[in-house]
Structure 1
Amino acid sequence: MKAKKNPKLEIGRNSSIYFAIGLNIMLLFTWKALEYRTFETEIDPIEILDIASEYQEDIPITKISTPLPPPPVAVSESIEVVESVADIEETVIESTESSQEIAIADPEPVVAVEDVKVEEVEEDVEVPFAVIENIPVFPGCEGLDKQASKACFQTKMNEHIKTHFHYPEDALDLGIQGRVSVLFIIDEKGYITGIRSRGPDKTLEKEAERIVHLLPRMKPGTQRGKPVKVSYAVPIFFKYKAAL
C-alpha cells in the first residue's frame, strides 16, 4: 500500500520559526491594546448668564414753594422829653465802722464748765465669759468667790444639760450623731437670749437650742460695776451606742 504523504517533505522543519513569529505578532497586538487611549470629543455647552438690567426708579423732583419773608418794617424812633416833677430821694449809705465815741457792748457771758451737762449714753457692751470681771451667778451658786462661782457655774450647767437631755428619735433612726456648739447671751437682766447653734444636723441643733432655752434666770455679770451682756458657749455631744 502506498503512502499518501510525500516522504521528501518535513512538515515540522520550520515550526519553531513560525511559532516565534506568531508569538511576536500576538505580543505586538497586546501592547497596542494596552497603550490605546481614547479622548472625549464632545464639547460641553457654554452656559450664557443673562443679567437683566437693574430697574432704577426715577424719583420725581419736587419743588417746594417756600413763602418769601415779610418785608422789613420801618421803625421810626421818636424821643419824647418829659420834665421831671417828682423829687428823687438819695440813698445814704452809712458806715459800719465803729468810732471811739460809740461804746462797745459787753461780749456774751462765758459759760462755766460746771454748767455743761453731759448726757451719759448707755453702750450695748457684750463681754465674753472668759474675760468678764464678775461672771453671771447660776441659781444655787450665790455667795461664792470668783473661782468657786465659776466652778459652780460649770457644774450647774452640766447638770442642767443632763437633766433636760433627750436624743431625738429621728436622729436615732437615721444614725445621726456628733457635737453641737451652742452660743447664747446672758443679758443685763439675767435672761437667756440670742441662742445660736452649729452641728452636723438641724435636728440635733434644734434639740440643743431647746435645752439651752430652758436655763433659769441668772444674776447678770458685771463689768466695772455695771451689768453687761455676757456671751457663753457650751458644747453638747449627741452619741449613742448600738445595741449588741
Structure 2
Amino acid sequence: MEIKKNPKSNLENYSKIFMQIGLVLALFVTYAAIEKKTYDKTTSSLGVVNMNADMEEDIPITERVEPVKPKTPPPPTPEKIEVVEDEKEVEETVIESTETDETEAVEVEEIVEIEEAEEVVEDVNFMIIEDSPVFPGCKGSKQELKNCFSKMVQKHFSRKFDADLPNELGLSPGKKRVFIGFKIDRQGNIVNVQARAPHPKIKAEVIKVMKLLPKMKPGKQRGKPVGVSYNIPFSLLVE
C-alpha cells in the first residue's frame, strides 16, 4: 500500500510565490543601500574664536595739526612821484551845432520814384487754369463754364468749316484727324492759331475758321488775367 502526499502540503506548488517574494526583498535591500547617505568625518582646525579680542582693540588718539601759514611780506613802499608841469597848450575842440535855423533853406535831394516791376505770369493751360475763359453766353460753376467753352468751340467749328473741302481734295475715304491749338490772351482775343491737318488747304481752312471765334472773357490765375492755351482735336469724315 503506497503512501500518498497531500497536494496542499507539497511545497513545490508555492515555489513561484517564494521566488517572487525573494526577488522583491532583494530589490528593496538594494534600493535601501543605494539611497543611504554617508558623510565623511572632518575635523576643524580653526579652534575657538574669541570675538571679544577684536572688540577690545585699542584705537590710538590722533590730534589734528593745522599747518602754519607763512607770513607775507609787506608791499614795497612806492617811489616818490615828481609832479612835472605841462608846458604844452591844449587846443580845445569846438563842436558845431547841427541844428538848423527856420530862416535857412535846407537842400533836399530829389526823390526818385522806382516803379515796381509788374509780375509776369506765363500762359496757363486750359485744363489747370483756376478761372477758365468764358465763351459768350456760358453760365454756371467753374466746371460748367469749362464744359460749355469746349462745347461751343466744337459747335463753332462744325458750323463754319467747309465740310465738302476734304472730298474735293481727293483724299482717301475714312476719318481724318485735325489738331487745333490757339491762345486766349489777357484781353480775351483769339491769337496764335495753329493747326495740323492731312492737307495744306484743310489746314488753312481750319485756321481761318478758328480766327472767327468771338472775343472771350479772359481767364484768371490767382485773381489776375493771364493768357490761356487751348488744344482740341477734330475728326473729318471723307467719303
User: Structure 1-normalised TM-score?
Assistant: 0.48
The normalised TM-score by structure 2 is 0.49
